[in-house]
Chain A
Amino acid sequence: MIGVDGMDPGFVERHWADLPNLASMRARGSFSRLATTTPPQSPTAWSTFITGLDPAEHGIFDFVHRDPATMQPFLSMSETREARFRIPFGPWQLPISRSKVVSLRKGKAFWQTLEEHGIPATIVHMPVNYPPVESGEGLAGMGTPDLQGTQGTFSYYTDDPGDKPRTVSGGVISRAEVVDGRAVLRLEGPPNSLRRDRRASSAEMIVDVDPGQPLARVTLGESIAIVREGEWSDWLPADFPLLPHLVSVRGMVRVFAKHLHPRFEVYVSPVNVDPASADLPISTPPSFSSKISGQTGRFYTLGISEDTSAMRQGVFDLREFLSQSHLVLDDERKLLDYSLEQFREGLLFFYFSSVDQNSHMLWGQHEAELLNVYRAVDTAIGEALRRKPSAEVMVMSDHGFAAFDRAVDLNQWLYHEGLLALKGLDEIDWTRTRAYALGLNGLYLNLADREHQGIVQNGQESHALIERIRNGLLALRDSANGRAPIETVIVTDVTGSNARIAPDLIVGYSPGYRASWQSGVGGLSNATFEDNTDAWIADHCINAADVPGVLFTTRKVQPASPSLKDLPVSLLALFGIAPEPGMTGHSIY
């Protein structure tokens, strides 16, 4: 089973001649569109693929959820629970119990069922599988943080006086001072959990720039590398001391020498967990990651490894983003080759992130570059078909893609409708707010029996409010072009333990539209509609029917209208195993 995040059926159909292996699967076996989940977001869709459950059951509705008690957004996929008992000692606090990372996804993974029936399963980079389910062998995928606990924070050092030191979305820009050809840079590591102030740990990185040539030597602890201008270093392991000389955390980075002369501009990747010595639970069994890296060398472990943030912040230009994205793809190929080499029987699942992340930055404007990424994945699929000729192979994606030209700020619209109130310029007044948007498709009522300062009574009042919002959104028109930005508004009506976190309405945008970045995190921008001027030019968080995924099989099947939740049922059926209770999909076989 090869999962290609974001592979779009329309794009594939336009390029059959360039994708010979996918074309061959279609000719020999089958190809169809694969209905995705509502909302069509990767965490939601992959959770349905993993469990065979609807979002109401597995409880992942978006990248971001909010805590109704505090109204603070949090990442939906996993949570780190700190050690409960600590002994304070001056500025230090020594934990006497362990901290723990837990997955927030509910439901049983299909490969747990396979393993229970004696079918070995290897699951490489499955999204929403951090920490990985303790079954079979597996590497965690999307949702795996960097060592700082974020979804990827790059560091960028520059001596350009016009570039002010600042924290940006997905990164930190710092001032570098080059004295006699040497820059001493502070590389931030994880928050020091052994300190009471949790001050970030750090490692010193020394960059010696050759006085005459665009060439530098990078020293990070015991790691050393030489990079030319415009070149990437190999992985450099780095230790971040928590207790000096006693306790440290191991991570690894790649360094990109953007400019060395006359400007000094150096990018350092997010601090990835080192698979050779992982301090976070990135694999099961825990030794699996070091076993692989012993064979293949180090590889990206961050859940979303392509650094789209660096491009969005102007740190990378398109060429530089593509070069970084190629490094990720190279690592994926390396891991696929290793996995195919080891695979004898049972199930092998392998995930590619490159098509999705590149589509976000290239879709509709850089067709040739995006096609190169599709080609590379097609070649990898061809390799799998060649090396395992007798295997039953499926290729699937969780969703397709659409352009993102105009941003819709639902909170601004709610404000204009008198349903959201402000105190000051942009702070929401919860005591007068009746509805709010958060996440890329979610809209919530401020319910009295759910939200901390809720004012809407559940029942007649909430039903009337839902109806008003629904009708209002469907009647909304973009004043710039007269188009309807929203195609569907679905009432979720979730019951049980997931009711607290589920949005009340899921908004299905028309192609070309998406939620604004500000309303995505629960804030407001200046207008209900704005042109998307970001480097992030395409998305899939719209109406699910507009962004189906793909399904290729080597066996000839004629599924009527397959959907994501049919796949775990089909995989179990391939091994003669009945679906688990709660799985509502149907086998395609």
Chain B
Amino acid sequence: MIWTLIPVSIVYGLAAVLLFRRCSDEVSIHRTVNRMMAHVLEFRLFLDSPALVLRAQRDLLRENFHLLRLILLPCVILAILFIVLFSQLDIMYGHAPLKAGERSVVTAQLSGDAVLEAPAGIEVETPGVRSLHDKQISWRVRPLGRVSGELKVRYPNHVLTKQIVSGSGLIYGLRLPFTTPEIEIHYPKTKVLSTNWMVWFFLISSASAIGYRR
């Protein structure tokens, strides 16, 4: 699993570096960082002069705000990029395919009657439970083995479909941020090498960004 996460993280790290180069004034950033370092040194130089130390602290704060303003645009773009990526990556690396024999729940955003059709190897164990509150229908499913196929929710004049995976491998499927999918499969949560995938993602992308800059 980590092997597919590594290239994604490296690309994100490199994108961050390129974005900073294109969307920010690197010279000003460099100059601001230098001035911040100078103010920190002032603390040590003028330890016996409280007025000077206070002034250095004020200037340091001002430079901090200046730096934040300089990096705001690339940071916002990176954050938006990460939000878009997050829902996709969390499905892929934060969840595992269903285990053979272990029950799960499939939920469709629907009110009214509907029927769930599952691919061969996935047993639909119960009729749909209708939640009047959430306008949802949920079914209990149980994979009998390794399966990758399409679930179909049929209701009058419409069919909703969704890929379902059991066994091993990654879960694919486009997932947009801030949206509730029409069909949700409750996959079990998982970790990458016993650690949340986001830790690996940030470690690898930071390392690749630093490496590329040097």
Contacts and interface: CB of A to CB of B under 8 A. Distances in A.
A221 to B, nearest CB: 12
A211 B137 CA distance: 12
Contacts of A226: 103, 105, 125-126, 129, 138-140
A208 interface: yes
B186 interface: yes
Interface stretch (A212-220, A320-328, A351-359): A212-220
A259 to B, nearest CB: 16
Interface residues of B, number: 19
Interface residues of A, number: 19
B130 interface: yes
Interface in B95-150: 102-103, 105, 107, 125-134, 138-140
Contacts of A208: 129-134, 138
A208 B136 CA distance: 10
Nearest to A181: B132
Contacts of B139: 226
A230 to B, nearest CB: 13
A181 B126 contact: no
A220 to B, nearest CB: 12
Contacts of A181: 130-133
Contacts of A215: 126-127, 129
A228 interface: yes
Nearest to B103: A234
A225 B107 CA distance: 11
Contact of A224 (B105, B125, B127, B133): B105
A217 B132 contact: no
Contacts of A228: 126
Contact of B131 (A182, A225, A297): A182
A427 interface: no
B31 to A, nearest CB: 39
A461 interface: no
Contacts of B126: 215, 226, 228
Nearest to B141: A226
A210 interface: yes
Given A226-B138, A226-B140, A228-B126, A217 B131 contact: yes
B127 A180 contact: no
A281 B182 CA distance: 42
Which of A180, A210, A212, A216 gathers most chain B CB within 10 Å?
A210
A222 to B, nearest CB: 8
B105 A225 contact: yes
Contacts of A234: 102-103
Contacts of A180: 132-133
B123 to A, nearest CB: 13
A210 B130 contact: yes
Given A224-B186, A228-B126, A211 B132 contact: yes
Interface string A195-213: 0000000000000111111
A226 B105 CA distance: 7
Nearest to A208: B131
A210 B125 CA distance: 15
Contacts of B129: 208-210, 213, 215-217, 226
Contacts of A222: 189
Nearest to A209: B129
A297 B102 CA distance: 9
A233 to B, nearest CB: 9
A216 B105 CA distance: 12
B127 A213 contact: yes
Given A224-B186, A226-B138, A226-B139, A217 B133 contact: no
A212 B172 CA distance: 35
A207 to B, nearest CB: 10
A182 B105 contact: no
B164 to A, nearest CB: 16
Contacts of B131: 181-182, 208, 217
Contact of B132 (A182, A213, A224): A182
A235 to B, nearest CB: 11
Contacts of A217: 105, 129, 131, 138
A216 B126 CA distance: 10
A182 B130 contact: no
A216 B186 CA distance: 16
Interface in A481-501: none
Interface in A181-203: 181-182
Nearest to A180: B132
Nearest to B184: A224
A180 B131 CA distance: 9
A225 B132 contact: no
Contacts of A225: 103, 105, 140
Interface string A278-319: 000000000000000000010000000000000000000000
Contacts of B130: 181, 208, 210-212
Contacts of B134: 208
A514 to B, nearest CB: 42
A208 B132 CA distance: 8
Contacts of B102: 234, 297
Which of B129, B130, B134, B139 gathers most chain A CB within 10 Å?
B129
A210 B139 CA distance: 11
Which of A208, A217, A234 gathers most chain B CB within 10 Å?
A217
A234 B142 CA distance: 12
Nearest to A226: B140
Nearest to B131: A208
Nearest to A182: B133
A204 to B, nearest CB: 14
Contacts of A224: 105, 107, 138, 186
A330 B130 CA distance: 31
Interface in B154-178: none
Which of A181, A212, A222, A226 gathers most chain B CB within 10 Å?
A226
Interface string B10-54: 000000000000000000000000000000000000000000000
B62 to A, nearest CB: 33
Interface string B67-82: 0000000000000000
A225 B126 CA distance: 11
A202 to B, nearest CB: 21
A211 B132 CA distance: 8
B186 to A, nearest CB: 5
Interface string A81-122: 000000000000000000000000000000000000000000
B146 to A, nearest CB: 18
CB-based closest 3 A-B pairs: A226-B140, A208-B131, A217-B129
23 contacts: A180-B133, A181-B130, A182-B132, A182-B133, A208-B129, A208-B131, A208-B134, A210-B127, A210-B128, A210-B130, A211-B130, A211-B132, A213-B127, A215-B126, A222-B189, A224-B107, A225-B103, A225-B140, A226-B105, A226-B125, A226-B139, A228-B126, A297-B102
Interface of A: 180-182, 208-213, 215-217, 222, 224-226, 228, 234, 297
Given A208-B133, A224-B105, 15 more contacts: A181-B132, A181-B133, A182-B133, A208-B130, A208-B131, A208-B134, A209-B129, A210-B127, A211-B132, A215-B127, A224-B138, A226-B105, A226-B139, A226-B140, A234-B102
Interface of B: 102-103, 105, 107, 125-134, 138-140, 186, 189
